[in-house]
Amino acid sequence: MTTHWNHLHEKVSHQLQAIYADVQLDTPVGELATELIHAIGLKQEQDVVVPQAYCNYWDENDIVMITYGDSVINEHERPLFTLFRFLHTYCKNTVNNVHILPFFPYSSDDGFSVIDYSTVNESLGDWADIERIANEYGLMTDLVINHCSSRSVWFDNFIKGEGPGSDYFFTADLEADLSMVTRPRVSPLLRETETRQGTKYVWCTFSHDQVDFDFRNPKVLLAFIEIIRLYLDKGTRIFRLDAVAFLWKKLGTPSINLPQTHEVIRLIRTLVEHVNPSVMLITETNIPNRENLTYFGNANEAHAIYNFSLPPLLVNTLVTGNCRYLKSWMMSMPPAQNGTAYFNFIASHDGIGLRPAEGLLSDDEISELVHAMQNFGGKISWRASEHGQQKPYEINITLFDAMQGTTSGPDKWQVDRFICAHAIMLGMEGIPGIYIHSLLGTSNDYEKVANTGQNRSINRKRWNYNELEAQLDSPHSQHHKVLTRLSQLIRIRKVQPAFHPNATQFTLQMGDEIFGYWRQSLDRKQGVFCISNISNEEQSVLLSDINLIGTDNWIDLISREKIKDVSGFLQLRPYQTVWISNQDFEYPHGL
């Protein structure tokens, strides 16, 4: 066991040398490596786990529901307990992982400006509530690693110039050349702050309440490894590394996606996988597609990356009735090698990010998409471009309302178009993440936008549990219809080996109005043709074009209809999806 520990120590030391190559350290790298290994909870006399390379710790059963801790509330009940009750009642046979968005004390940005990383926001519940959920579901927790709240003890200590945090934050001179820095917001980058050492200008990538850490100081890295250990102890199985692309700053550079950032992620993975190889790291890097892919490393960095290009491309496909851009993007995506996976989502607590569509859609096409979403009640968030111009950064709208119609305006196909979007995502290579407000078919919350003044509030409704229960129990409500149909799709997906996140995928060429791809199970026994009509008109598909083998028995897993003539035509209603398979792994009727 000492040999394994020594090997780990050597690897961590090597990674630290790469991270701090340009930094003068007060502590020798070997000592720092020992501190980090101890902080993650490993001692030399213990049996250090040896992770297996290129191993998939996920399969077709894995579905992640994304939610705030108080997305569902009930009077006189802790929101985290209400969430547990909702999961148990409505999601028990569909969802097996839950991403609870930051559940810590915070000062802004609905949780992403953390005041205290070690406690649960008392308005939500406590650690016992978190552990109750973690005992029955895979818990996904945010590691808000780029910045914290300006109201944190750490930042108070920075102002005082003493105690933990006094040297945790990145500062720059007003005269520094910051012209190359990539900005996701239009607010000034530097925050003027009066400290006991005089006026300091603190780096703030997102807002002046979110002050950025200085990872050139290894104490910051050590503090976050201790936080990771705490979250592991509380049941976390998946870590979402929030805004991690901005972690390392260097003057004279864009201060995004720097080599040191990648090495820090690799170091975190090294430490975590030696504690528990099945724990996952997911990088939240809302950046152009090519840059996003680099966070896989060589299957030694992020286990999964957010497929950020999917939401804008899929929404664009369904409102234009043309899939050529989605198809081209899908063909360009390399298969995730074993040990890595795409994290697919089409809606989240944020909006539909537009940066990942840059280079995939033209400026005119993005403008057309923005205009359509504004017609459906959506809001637009802006960023400053490298030339100082304002560019659309994000569309703020619920996915349900984004599917109201096409670029020609609203129509009668909203629910079918919405279900089609999820059917496409659920069949794709990768692990699906479904936002609670998509699962519920929630509409735009204009009242919350008015109350908060924040565009993102439009997609952050807080449901009263009794009101929601009444809606979900009413067969005629949109919420009942959406939950019923999505739950059926999820249950079907979960028993198909061809929908393993790493199963083979090939894009089909079926014209602009039909989007299709083929999945094949890892053992090559099951194949599924996933075909969607993404237009508002009926479409015919010649089955011989997809080469169904005549000796196999084919069935649409969704409608349960058998394909009797493989040389005939398949008629698809507007926004209908079929999953045509040669093997029928029907889900149990009791689910």
Q: Of 443, 477, 496, at which residue does a domain stop? A: 496
The residue with greater pLDDT, 328 or 390, is: 328
Residues 490, 455 share a domain: yes
Report the pLDDT value the prediction gives residue 415, as an integer from 0 to 100. Answer: 97
Q: What are phi and psi for residue 588, nearest 5 degrees?
A: -60, 140
Residues 330, 205 share a domain: no
Report the pLDDT value the prediction gives residue 591, as an integer from 0 to 100. Answer: 44
Percent of the chain with pLDDT over 90: 86
Q: Which domain holds residue 461?
A: 64-146+217-496
Residue 587 pLDDT > 70: no
Beta-carbon contacts of 448 under 8 Å, excluding residues fewer than 6 positions away, are 457, 458, 460, 461, 462
Report the pLDDT value the prediction gives residue 590, as an integer from 0 to 100. Answer: 45
Q: Is residue 33 part of a domain?
A: no
Residue 46 pLDDT > 80: no
Q: Is residue 34 part of a domain?
A: no
Its pTM stands at 0.95
Residue 189 belongs to a domain with what CATH number? Answer: 3.90.400.10
Report the pLDDT value the prediction gives residue 544, as an integer from 0 to 100. Answer: 83
The residue with greater pLDDT, 584 or 468, is: 468
Cα 260 to Cα 215: distance, rounded to the nearest angstrom: 9
Task: Give 81-97 pLDDT, tens digit per residue.
Answer: 999 999 999 998 999 99
pLDDT (average), residues 235-261: 97
Q: State how many domains the chain has.
A: 3
Cα 493 to Cα 557: distance, rounded to the nearest angstrom: 9
Percent of the chain with pLDDT over 70: 97
Beta-carbon contacts of 117 under 8 Å, excluding residues fewer than 6 positions away, are 104, 144, 148, 227, 230
Report the pLDDT value the prediction gives residue 141, as an integer from 0 to 100. Answer: 98
Count of other CB atoms within 10 angstroms of residue 434: 27
Residue 92 belongs to a domain with what CATH number? Answer: 3.20.20.80
pLDDT confidence tier of residue 253, bands split at 50, 70 and 90 = very high
Report the pLDDT value the prediction gives residue 383, as an integer from 0 to 100. Answer: 75
Mutual angle of helices 259-275 and 2-19, in 10-degree steps: 160
Q: Is residue 456 part of a domain?
A: yes
CA 250 from centre of chain? 27
Report the pLDDT value the prediction gives residue 286, as an integer from 0 to 100. Answer: 84
HEC string of 84-147 equals HHHHHHHCCCCCCEEEECCCCCECCHHHCCECCCCCCCCCCCCHHHHHHHHHHCEEEEEEECCE
Q: What are phi and psi for residue 165, nearest 5 degrees?
A: 105, -15
Which of 70, 129, 242, 445 is catalytic? The answer is 242
Task: Of 224-228, 362-366, 432-436, give the lowest mean pLDDT range.
Answer: 362-366
pLDDT confidence tier of residue 184, bands split at 50, 70 and 90 = confident
Report the pLDDT value the prediction gives residue 568, as an integer from 0 to 100. Answer: 86
pLDDT (average), residues 192-210: 97
Residues 360, 291 share a domain: yes
Q: Is residue 46 part of a domain?
A: no
Beta-carbon contacts of 334 under 8 Å, excluding residues fewer than 6 positions away, are 293
Coil vs helix vs strand at 279:
coil
Residues 153, 115 share a domain: no
Report the pLDDT value the prediction gives residue 549, as an integer from 0 to 100. Answer: 79
Residues 133, 203 share a domain: no
CA dihedral sign of residues 362, 366, 369, 375: negative
Q: Is residue 59 part of a domain?
A: no
As a residue count, the chain comes to: 591
| 8 A C-beta contact, residue 187 and residue 245 | no
Ramachandran category for residue 458: left, alpha or beta (phi over 0 → left; psi -120 to 50 → alpha): alpha
Residues 429, 388 share a domain: yes
Cα 374 to Cα 530: distance, rounded to the nearest angstrom: 31
Report the pLDDT value the prediction gives residue 348, as an integer from 0 to 100. Answer: 93
Report the pLDDT value the prediction gives residue 49, as an integer from 0 to 100. Answer: 83
Average pLDDT over the chain reads 94
Residues 233, 121 share a domain: yes
Residues 251, 112 share a domain: yes
pLDDT (average), residues 303-321: 97
Q: Is residue 52 part of a domain?
A: no
Q: Is residue 35 part of a domain?
A: no
Q: Is 129 a catalytic residue?
A: no
Cα 576 to Cα 514: distance, rounded to the nearest angstrom: 10
Residues 299, 169 share a domain: no
Residues 261, 312 share a domain: yes
Residues 526, 402 share a domain: no
Report the pLDDT value the prediction gives residue 577, as an integer from 0 to 100. Answer: 98
Report the pLDDT value the prediction gives residue 1, as an integer from 0 to 100. Answer: 52
368: burial class by Cβ within 10 Å (0-12, 13-18, 19+)? middle
pLDDT (average), residues 491-497: 97
Tell the residue number behind the tokens 């997305």, with chain if given. 71
Task: Give 537-556 pLDDT, tens digit per residue.
Answer: 999 999 888 878 777 789 99
Q: Of 464, 496, 528, at which residue does a domain stop? A: 496
Residues 477, 365 share a domain: yes
| 8 A C-beta contact, residue 101 and residue 349 | yes
Q: Is residue 58 part of a domain?
A: no
Coil vs helix vs strand at 149:
strand
Q: Of 212, 231, 261, at which residue does a domain stop? A: 212
pLDDT (average), residues 478-505: 97
- The partner residues of 236 in beta bridges, in order of sequence, read 139
- Per the structure block, which two tokens stand in for 91? 């999601």
Helical H segments across 287-345, by residue range:
289-293, 310-320, 324-332
